[in-house]
Chains A and B, each alone.
Chain A
């Protein structure tokens, strides 16, 4: 005789985009389009203009658990050698060294990563903070390495903190990146919607009212 417990795993359905404020939709789409157009080009140097003078960046990387794929293109050496995984990097000195500070260091770090083509249509995008003083934008997705044999696909998770700058535009102050292998399911669906130049926001993107935190009054 058993117990009447369900062992079926049912999770709430996924949504591809979340925007705390519908007003952020154009800005987010334009930002992602412009940023990744440069990121995926021959030179990432023009990204210097996107970062704040004192911007910081760090990246963590790891293999998928139990992944038996052993082909050379599955190796993540280009990322893991630079990974700031503080579960493994425990000394303060090393943690400081692996954190890149200042836009020159940041863009130099990014320039040394493999060349890429991102699947913008496949991005999952979350905009949890959209206030006059700060924007926080998180995304999940896949990219292809374009200058490596076999053009392997990789999965990433990335967060930008973006603030208004004195020129009336925006600057990235924090960039935090995670890179791993794509799952077989991700690999089979990567770039399945073609490769347009900008992400398309599925309609309607989910909107929730009420700000995350009170916006400080000047």
Chain B
């Protein structure tokens, strides 16, 4: 039944989001040299409006950021009906929480949205938009 397929997609999107964010933030905070493996070869990171294309450049960009600690407070996920990559499952994941850099005491709220696609049995990030919750107009 169609509705059962929809339910399965809803459940799977949520459970994938839980597993994905557990892995992603653990790597980003503790083993950042491995993080780019989570991105597609042609993946895109948009970090506070700075666009970085391709997982090699993403790796270098991430290595240059100060040490971080991310604590998630909310998580949400949806499936995308029209696939981003033909015939590949695509999920939209929104993760929000606080980040501290260099063991500083200042907690800055952040919001991050991922598009992940299933490629050969692995979830890969097609795009990752990260924004700190700060004013952006000049």
Contacts and interface: CB of A to CB of B under 8 A. Distances in A.
A60 B96 contact: yes
A146 B97 CA distance: 27
A201 interface: no
| Interface size class, chain B | 35 or more
Contacts, number: 207
A14 B136 contact: yes
B96 A20 contact: no
Contact of A140 (B47, B50, B53, B133): B133
Contacts of A96: 7, 10-11
Contacts of B102: 7-9
Given A11-B65, A86-B17, A140-B133, A58 B126 contact: no
B28 interface: no
A185 B96 CA distance: 19
Contacts of A159: 92, 94, 113, 129
Interface in A104-142: 119, 121-124, 126, 128-129, 133-134, 136, 138, 140-141
Nearest to B45: A128
Nearest to A210: B53
Task: Bin chain A's interface residue count.
Answer: 35 or more
Given A121-B137, A180-B109, A186-B133, A129 B50 contact: no
Contacts of A77: none
Interface string A43-76: 0000000000010101111101110000000000
A62 B74 contact: yes
A99 B92 CA distance: 13
Given A96-B10, A174-B80, A206-B50, A212 B137 contact: no
Interface in B98-133: 98, 101-104, 107, 109, 111, 113, 115, 117, 126-129, 131-133
A95 to B, nearest CB: 5
B48 interface: yes
Nearest to A142: B135
A155 interface: yes
Contacts of B81: 54, 173
Nearest to A140: B131
A8 B103 CA distance: 10
Nearest to B76: A60
A141 B77 CA distance: 21
Given A124-B131, A163-B82, A180-B133, A86 B76 contact: yes
Contacts of B29: none
B51 A208 contact: yes
B134 interface: yes
Given A11-B101, A124-B131, A213-B117, A58 B50 contact: no
A95 B76 CA distance: 9
Contacts of B18: 86
Given A99-B10, A176-B76, A122 B136 contact: yes
**Top 10 nearest A-B pairs by Cβ distance?**
A15-B49, A157-B111, A128-B127, A216-B86, A124-B136, A189-B135, A208-B51, A60-B74, A122-B137, A85-B74
19 contacts: A11-B65, A16-B136, A18-B50, A87-B73, A92-B7, A92-B11, A92-B14, A95-B14, A126-B46, A134-B84, A155-B109, A159-B113, A161-B80, A161-B82, A174-B78, A174-B92, A176-B78, A190-B135, A208-B51
